[in-house]
Amino acid sequence: MDEKRARAARSLRGASPPEAPELPTGKAFVLQLSRETGPTLEPFAGRVEHLATGRRLRFENFAAFRSAVVRLLTEAKQP
């Protein structure tokens, strides 16, 4: 409770907000791999879900996975 009061006091004084978390929840994802994906990650296929928005995209390889994450983060930034 003391930390909440300290933050409120800083806010009232116009102090800058505390540093952003190292792992922000707005950038949290769930990665679900297909049944065919083995311990060597071959083939690398499945889906990725952005937890903040609930949006999901499927992918068939690592390049498509990376594109999916970029797309989900970009869409989350737009109003």
Model confidence pLDDT, tens digit, residues 29-59:
999 999 999 999 999 999 999 999 999 999 9
- Burial degree of 12 (CB within 10 A; 0-12, 13-18, 19+): exposed
Compute the CA torsion angle 30, 36, 41, 45 (nearest 10 deg). -50
Is 5 or 31 the better-scoring residue by pLDDT? 31
Is 66's pLDDT higher than 90?
Answer: yes
pLDDT band per the 50, 70, 90 thresholds, residue 17: low
Q: Report the distance separating Cα 22 and Cα 6, nearest Å.
A: 21
Q: What local confidence, expressed as pLDDT, does residue 78 receive?
A: 79
Q: What is the pTM of this model?
A: 0.71
Q: What local confidence, expressed as pLDDT, does residue 77 receive?
A: 87
- Token readout for 11 is 């806010």
CA 73 to chain centre: 7
